[in-house]
Each structure stands twice: as C-alpha cells, then as structure tokens.
C-alpha cells in the first residue's frame, strides 16, 4: 500500500511541476471565465445562472484538457525517454503503475475543480446550494473517466509531436462542439446535432443540469459510458499489439 501511495504522490508532484498543466489546464480556464463573465458584456436574461453555467463549462474544460493532453502526452514522453521500460524492471507492477497514474490524475482534477469553483465564488459571487457544489464536483470527477481513457489512447502514440497535435485537435473539437466557450444553443444546428453524440457536450450538460437544480440526463450517462468502453477497448488493443511487437 505504501508503494502505491508513494507512486501516486510522485505522479501528483510531477503534474503540478509541469508548466503545461498549470497554464493550459488551470490558468486558461480561469482567464476565459473572467473574460466571458466580467470583461465581455454578454446579454443574458439570468446573469447569476449564466455565471454558474459558465463556471461549470470552464471546470469541465479544465478537467477534459488535463485528462486528454497532460496524461496522454506525458505517457508518450515517458516511453520515449525510456522511463516506461525502466519501470518494467522494477518490483512495481504494471497495474500499480497505471493505477497510480489514473489516481494521481484524478487528484489533480479534484484540485482543479476546487480552485476554479473558488474562483467563481470570489470573482462573481457564485452561490449554489451545498449539494449542487458537491454533486457537480462529483459529476465532473466521474464524467472525466472517458477522457482519461482517451488520454491513455493518445499515450499509445510513438511520437511526442504527433500526440501533442492530435490531442490538441481532439480537445478543441470536443470543447467547441460541446458548448464550452459559448452557449450550446447558439451553435450552428449541424454542430449541435453532431455535438449531442460526442462526449464533450454530454460531460458539460450533466454539470449544467445540476446547477439548474436538475439531475444529469440519462442520455449523458449512457453516451459517456459508451465512450469510456470504446476508448478503453481501443487503448487495450493498441497496447497489446505494441507489447507483442517488442
């Protein structure tokens, strides 16, 4: 148990020391939140609801980006630097190694959620019932699982520049089509029709429903579960092929 904890601790420290995570997954969502709720005067009928809605959007945006890019690109870097091969010759099992990575990344997500939630409460005086804060945080943690699986799939790529480019493109597509930067209902109809079947929108919509006093839609749950299964299956398949090729 001590070995697992030490590995988890090491993963968390490595992420926090990564300027890529600090800037893109923490500072950028906060800057976007301030920009679209304080600087740009967006005309909305219920400003308090908009501020809570966009707070959830930026929190989802942060966690989604961290899961896809920080986790995936770091795995490619470790493999290219020989770190993964070195771990294979240590007493640490592969399952513990990957568990530590997932658990460490999840702890980082909890940290990001707390920081961004506090930012919303301070900057815009966002006030939600305690159960909505807790439920929305739990939804974001659980809903991040498909994106962690997608991050591990990105991590199977051989080149760092390829992984960086593809993860950025995937992240941007999911963020834009999911309505993270602007209300989903103002997007072109074709983007809405496609976005409703992508994990980005279903991830965000669950949190948006919670701050409206509702529960996430079952469609959101089923779509995210389906993508989790798909990404896990693809990641396992690619990794098994790579291990056989070695």
Helices (H), the chain: 2-16, 19-20, 28-34, 47-65, 71-80, 83-88, 94-123, 130-143, 145-154, 160-177, 189-195, 199-211, 218-245
* CA 152/CA 76 separation, integer angstroms: 9
Has residue 243 got a pLDDT over 70? no
Q: What is the span of the domain harbouring residue 168?
A: 2-245
Has residue 117 got a pLDDT over 90? yes
Pick the residue with more confidence: 85 or 111? 111
Query: Which of the residue ranges 18-22, 103-107, 185-189, 197-201 would you say has the lowest mean pLDDT?
Result: 18-22
How many Cβ atoms sit within 10 Å of the Cβ of residue 24? Answer: 18
pLDDT tens column, 33-63: 998 888 776 777 788 888 999 999 999 999 9
Residues 159, 160, 164, CA angle at the centre, nearest 5°?
120
Q: What is the pTM of this model?
A: 0.89
Number of structural domains the chain divides into: 1
Query: Which of the residue ranges 52-61, 94-103, 165-174 would you say has the lowest mean pLDDT?
Result: 94-103
């Amino acid at each position: 148990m001590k070995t697992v904890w030490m590995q988890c601790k090491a993963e968390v420290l490595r992420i926090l020391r990564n300027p890529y995570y600090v800037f893109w997954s923490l500072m950028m969502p906060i800057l976007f939140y301030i920009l679209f709720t304080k600087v740009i005067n967006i005309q909305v009928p219920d400003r308090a609801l908009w501020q809570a809605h966009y707070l959830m959007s930026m929190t989802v945006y942060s966690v989604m980006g961290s899961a896809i890019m920080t986790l995936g690109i770091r795995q490619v870097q470790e493999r290219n630097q020989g770190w993964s091969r070195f771990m294979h010759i240590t007493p640490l099992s592969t399952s513990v190694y990957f568990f530590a990575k997932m658990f460490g990344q999840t702890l980082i997500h909890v940290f990001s959620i707390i920081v961004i939630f506090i930012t919303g409460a301070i900057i815009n005086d966002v006030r939600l019932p305690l159960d909505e804060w807790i439920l929305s945080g739990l939804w974001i943690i659980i809903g991040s699982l498909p994106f962690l699986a997608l991050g591990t799939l990105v991590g199977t790529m051989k080149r760092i520049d390829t992984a960086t480019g593809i993860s950025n493109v995937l992240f941007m597509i999911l963020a834009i089509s999911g309505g993270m930067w602007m209300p989903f209902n103002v997007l072109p109809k074709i983007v809405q029709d496609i976005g409703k079947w992508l994990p980005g929108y279903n991830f965000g919509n669950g949190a948006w429903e919670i701050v409206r006093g509702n529960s996430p839609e079952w469609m959101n749950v089923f779509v995210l579960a389906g993508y989790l299964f798909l990404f896990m299956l693809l990641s396992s398949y690619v990794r098994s092929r790579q291990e056989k090729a070695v």
